Structure 1
Amino acid sequence: MKMKELLLFLSCVLSVSVDGQHSDFHIAGCSDSYGEDVYGLDGEEVAYADFNKQKEIYPQPPFVDPMDYPGGYEQAVGQLQICRANMQNSRKGMKDFPLERDAPSAVMIYTKDEVEFGEENYLICYVTGFYPAPVNVSWTKNKEKVTGSSINVPYINKDGTFTQISRLDFTPQLGDTYSCKVEHLALTEPATKFYEVEALARSDPGVGPSVFCGVGLTLGLVGVAVGTFFLIKGNECS
């Protein structure tokens, strides 16, 4: 039986409304160098502890009623201490089990919205299937390093591996090439994916409607011809 470095998980249904059942979950975990404490609702992040900034973060869109967890960060610090103490006790009992490492099973790069030259958009670097967390993601534009990207906290998958998503704001210009480089303990060299802004990234808006209208007109004419044929045959029979 494989032993994971992440020791403590908690997931439960806390509330039911007249509109149906909602899943309110809390995930806490730790390693020697990393800690995680996340609250969520129906699969979406509601709050997480940022141990570098030493505060609770609420990544909620502005159009929803704000939710908060008073004392959430202080509770997360306590959970982290308990988790690491439990981990050390387990190591003594298991005679320090070896660390399992899984390289990312998939790295993808794509845009959030359809590309329009000169219109603000953002690139997404999706990394999943890795263990332990986290990964490090860096971006380049035309082979030059760029800053200003963001990355979410690692999200645990059903198989015990993790997913992380990094985002980079960009304004598409023809010929620009972007890359996201992913580094992880299980990778002997970084996994890098490229995105090139091409002329075909945005299809000609006139092509689709023209083809559709041409096909529609052709089918319409065929339908009229077939209908006229059967009308004449019907009159001959009578």
Structure 2
Amino acid sequence: MKVDILAFGVHPDDVELGCSGTLIASAKAGKKVAVVDLTGGELGTRGTVDTRKTEAADAAGVMLLAARENLEMADGFFQHDEANVRKVITVIRKYQPEIVLCNAPEDRHPDHGRSSKLVADAAFLSGLRKIETVYNNQPQQQWRPAYVFHYIQDRYLKPDFVFDISDHFEEKIKSVLCYKTQFNTLDASEPATYISNPDFLETIKGRALMLGKRIGVKYAEGYLSAKTPGINSFDAFIQQVT
């Protein structure tokens, strides 16, 4: 299955927090979108691997995904090694995305930065034909995405560009709230966490408002790119203003 956009998250709920507005907007515009989670989030304080699987499937429906899968790396302990790079190369070659979205280069959770480097390196290596991978007992062809963009997560990083999600912000929040064990809960049967308090959602809204203000819209999501995106017309900028 070829997709237009393949979004990676090291934990189920990363893409919902970081780039779900972009994914929903893109899917509604006719793009084919898929998500790959690297781990099951098994070290999360609240919930279980099984509840996270159910929550991730529910969120996939909200985000209008064509596919979602999990590479089952070790939460907290996965390494940037050949085995894991090959797993990511295989899935990139499977979906052949033009755009890859992945975790922030550095963030509060150390897994985010480590996975960011892992995915970015795999996206490059996926274009080398002498790296051989197999899927469904068939050799894969090399494939290199045109761009790898890193979505901004907990820590503020100055974006290289922002994506207008004004018309899809409520759906973004709906996708986040699919993780009932993780967010917006005062359930005291498990320990409270940094993200479980309902006030955490206000920080998500505040970030989206702040990024939206940078381009004169209500809500936006921010991205970093090592490769400078180019244009061949100023029309896109003019359309934004008008």
Which protein has the larger Cα radius of gyration, Structure 1 or Structure 2? 1
User: What TM-score range do you get, normalising by the shorter chain?
Assistant: under 0.3
State the TM-score, normalized to the length of structure 2.
0.24
Flag the structure with more relative contact order, 1 or 2, with Cα contacts below 8 A and sequence separation at least 6: 2
In terms of fraction of residues, the more strand-rich structure is 1
State the TM-score, normalized to the length of structure 1.
0.24
